[in-house]
Structure 1
């Protein structure tokens, strides 16, 4: 028997660090393999070589991409020390669907944090931000300093309410507060809910070549007059990755423009539901009718005496507006919204509700429904691509070739009538033959069914056409048990998109 004692590295999320460093172009990393280098080395080495030569890996390597960490965290020794310790401490722990770290918390807090915590907010950590997960009815559950699980003579946190709540999440069944998330979802569907989305990245793209850069970077037609600015609101978990990607493209293409980060300077709340227009008409000094303020438009308006950017958008499938608010105005605007909304039955809601509401509507989540190795055509997002124009954009040639050849895989929505929890990675069978797996699954409270999305392939290698989907009988396997599933080519909830346009009844 031989024993080897050595130092070993553990990264903050127990995954390797790979890809081009955000700080230095051409400097690539392939390290931090968490005592699994022998297992991961071959495949990671192959992908890293492809990455260096072609500028991107061949497979989905986003989970290992160094750009998944925000620079404020990688420059923070406390964050690195605490999170890497917990990564090691939980090395062999069972990975439950809704686990959250206890280490390195409260690193990035938005202006609404304290008032939401007082109302029972159970926070999730994303990209260093504390974002609302859901709202506990038993009072505040503040997050305490990391206790290293009582190692190194650090006193253990006793009577730690947040940790106790997380412990109840450690299940592969519906969690005990399933009904709380249900109520947040149904309040949004039937009245109005407010979501704090301040963790979003908020960038401005400006300069003489801003239009050229936007045309090349974005698949959609975002035609603007030359020299104008573009405001980009990007999901907080992928903000650093987007920032690095955009900066690299600007440099490689030689565009004369600048990307400016205003994430920390602004907050963002989203007011959604059939009562959102009536509520906001009392708070905003602008006509919110569909003629005056159509879906997918924005205006600078006054909200309770404070200037904000209002966008008529929705990620939950309801009529609603996002308010992008200067930091110092966030709380006055929030309190005005909540006061006006009291008679409409307004509630705070979190991202667990967003997950359910968005999957009902078929809105895609990054790195679940959408990964770097998926195309907009496969993901059912062809409408976001300016293919009917002659404007070139990054990836256009690949999409044109795929469109001509036909899709060899396609994302499909599945519903299960039995009330069984699913979380993603469940196998999809068509006529008894495995054809893919779910990328994401949630319970849809409005339709009262489990919903999942996954990409399917034709076992014969042929095109996956709509008829191929319609003609199959599908089942999903969860923990060795198969469940009959119904396949949908359109969203099972409001497939005609009436609600986001304000058409109810």
Structure 2
């Protein structure tokens, strides 16, 4: 099935208004360079150069992730309705202003987890990622069901009237704080003060298994993941990048001739994350396991029963709180969720969505793929050296490049900045240091706990020298938003809980 929607004989539009480039996931050695959405003259030169490098060296020089054909899940590229609807909407919005919190109206409800109807009834306003409907935020006053695409009233279709979801999206078409800012604030503060449950079922869930699984894991992952027995690994990856991860891992397995395979269980498992200072008390009433620090340390997992259902409990957090993820068989998701909500009622447990995760995670300095981390960034530049097993002699993909970079010094570094004034920022704002532009913001959000705008971006030394920690510290910073500069403070640690106590249960 083609991902291109043709208009006339000379133009084509893709489902997300971006070109299709790179190696086809279905056929090794077959590369694409098409779907330029009526911008081929503008994009052709640079994309052609990157594609040539891609073919010769196996990867482009620059960050081409947004154009990589592997960004689409196969269930979408095989679906005629999704391609037709999304390609139409990308054409209809060709010259539209791109607002920070916009969502498509076309090609929706392709992939829904077992909690979809339950959360819809509780006021969930959904976001679309890779066909999945994931919770964005909660608006308990209204039910915001996503309706079938109406083609904006074109081609004889009747445009939806009194469409709640479309109206809520339209209210968010702003570069100021959105009108639902206070609702997201409530979710964030409830997580920090009591507990929140996040439905993260859209995550990709893979099993890496086979006789060479340990060798493959050693090579694929920069961190030391060697644990007994080592013949099977469970991988949970963000749903928006699951297909790209799947394609990349399988490519490496094939190229390195590892005798193992990757099994996709994304549709078979749900994922609930219960986070906050009350999470232990809540889950202790649901799980048949000792959740103390001694019995269930941070970054460990156990197979336990939740309200009688077998689940995998993992003590992790992406919001910087004491908490657990429950990886639940699909048929058990609803009863486990209801048991958690019942146990949490007296502790102030609330539903929360990904808009809250964005705010909470940036407060804690947790990195987001393709915002803080891109294919042309290194773990050293991103402040993630602790995730690399460089103190061992174990080879892994990218080790030589990291060792070379460590020896020569970092020419750029990811930094955290906060702005005292309550001003919205979304990314791409210029970073000024001592009167010179030294970089731009990759990701920004408002931190409700610290009550400040928080921004992350990579900076360089205008002289071309290494960017040391002294260089970072000894500067006066400002962020420029729409022509106005705002004084900013630099942080070497995250502005919230810099000593990392809360994930350890220390409050």
Short-chain TM bin: over 0.9
Which whole-Å CA distance do the structure 2 matches of 1:193 and 1:471 have between them?
39
Pairwise CA distance, 1:140: 1.0
Question: Of 75, 81, 84, which residue of structure 1 is paired with 2:84?
Answer: 81
Verify: 1:390 aligned to 2:393, yes or no. Answer: yes
Pairwise CA distance, 1:159: 0.5
Deviation sequence 1:434-493 (CA, Å, 0-9, x none): 000000000000000000000000000001011001110000000000000000111010
Which whole-Å CA distance do the structure 1 matches of 2:493 and 2:65 have between them?
28
Question: Of 140, 143, 148, which residue of structure 2 is paired with 1:145?
Answer: 148
Alignment of 1:276-291 (within 5 A): 276-291=279-294
Contact 1:111 1:331 in 2 (8 A): yes
Distance verdict in 2 for CA 1:228–1:421, change over 3 Å: same
Which whole-Å CA distance do the structure 1 matches of 2:176 and 2:230 have between them?
53
Alignment of 1:144-183 (within 5 A): 144-183=147-186
Distance verdict in 2 for CA 1:5–1:198, change over 3 Å: closer
Deviation sequence 1:163-184 (CA, Å, 0-9, x none): 0000000000001110000000
Deviation sequence 1:171-230 (CA, Å, 0-9, x none): 000011100000000000000000000000000000000000000000000113465210
Q: What secondary structure does 2:343 align onto? A: helix
Contact 1:142 1:161 in 2 (8 A): yes
Residue aligning to 1:262: 265
Residue aligning to 1:456: 459
Q: What secondary structure does 2:493 align onto? A: coil
Contact 1:73 1:80 in 2 (8 A): yes
Which whole-Å CA distance do the structure 2 matches of 1:431 and 1:162 have between them?
45
Verify: 1:474 aligned to 2:477, yes or no. Answer: yes
Pairwise CA distance, 1:67: 0.5
Which whole-Å CA distance do the structure 1 matches of 2:234 and 2:444 have between them?
31
Moved over 6 A (4+): none
Question: Of 109, 114, 118, which residue of structure 2 is paired with 1:115?
Answer: 118
Q: What runs of 5+ residues in structure 1 fail to find an aligned partner?
A: none
Verify: 1:321 aligned to 2:312, yes or no. Answer: no
Question: Of 207, 217, 227, which residue of structure 2 is paired with 1:214?
Answer: 217
Question: Of 332, 335, 341, which residue of structure 2 is paired with 1:332?
Answer: 335
Verify: 1:15 aligned to 2:29, yes or no. Answer: no
Alignment of 1:350-499 (within 5 A): 350-499=353-502
- The number of aligned residues is 501
Q: What secondary structure does 2:107 align onto? A: coil
Distance verdict in 2 for CA 1:435–1:299, change over 3 Å: same
Deviation sequence 1:330-368 (CA, Å, 0-9, x none): 000000000000000110000000000000000000000
The TM-score with structure 1 as length reference comes to: 0.99
Deviation sequence 1:273-330 (CA, Å, 0-9, x none): 0000000000000000000000000000000000000000000000000000000000
Contact 1:122 1:134 in 2 (8 A): yes
RMSD: 0.9
Pairwise CA distance, 1:6: 3.7
Contact 1:266 1:326 in 2 (8 A): yes
Which whole-Å CA distance do the structure 2 matches of 1:351 and 1:57 have between them?
31
Which whole-Å CA distance do the structure 1 matches of 2:348 and 2:197 have between them?
11
Q: What secondary structure does 1:260 align onto? A: strand
Contact 1:209 1:227 in 2 (8 A): no
Deviation sequence 1:82-109 (CA, Å, 0-9, x none): 0000000000000000000000000000
Verify: 1:71 aligned to 2:45, yes or no. Answer: no
Which whole-Å CA distance do the structure 2 matches of 1:227 and 1:139 have between them?
48
Verify: 1:105 aligned to 2:114, yes or no. Answer: no
Verify: 1:503 aligned to 2:506, yes or no. Answer: yes
Pairwise CA distance, 1:139: 2.1
Verify: 1:248 aligned to 2:251, yes or no. Answer: yes
Pairwise CA distance, 1:419: 0.1
Q: What secondary structure does 1:299 align onto? A: strand
Which whole-Å CA distance do the structure 1 matches of 2:170 and 2:10 have between them?
32
Which whole-Å CA distance do the structure 2 matches of 1:230 and 1:335 have between them?
29
Alignment of 1:190-201 (within 5 A): 190-201=193-204
Q: What runs of 5+ residues in structure 2 fail to find an aligned partner?
A: 1-6
Which whole-Å CA distance do the structure 2 matches of 1:305 and 1:140 have between them?
31
Which whole-Å CA distance do the structure 1 matches of 2:50 and 2:92 have between them?
29
Which whole-Å CA distance do the structure 2 matches of 1:427 and 1:77 have between them?
41
Which whole-Å CA distance do the structure 1 matches of 2:268 and 2:309 have between them?
15
Which whole-Å CA distance do the structure 2 matches of 1:27 and 1:95 have between them?
32
Deviation sequence 1:6-47 (CA, Å, 0-9, x none): 442100000000000000000000000011111100000000
Contact 1:220 1:385 in 2 (8 A): yes
Verify: 1:133 aligned to 2:123, yes or no. Answer: no
Contact 1:208 1:227 in 2 (8 A): no
Contact 1:208 1:226 in 2 (8 A): no
Q: What secondary structure does 1:115 align onto? A: helix
Distance verdict in 2 for CA 1:155–1:491, change over 3 Å: same
Q: What secondary structure does 1:336 align onto? A: helix
Contact 1:413 1:487 in 2 (8 A): yes
Deviation sequence 1:116-153 (CA, Å, 0-9, x none): 00000000000100000000132211000000000000
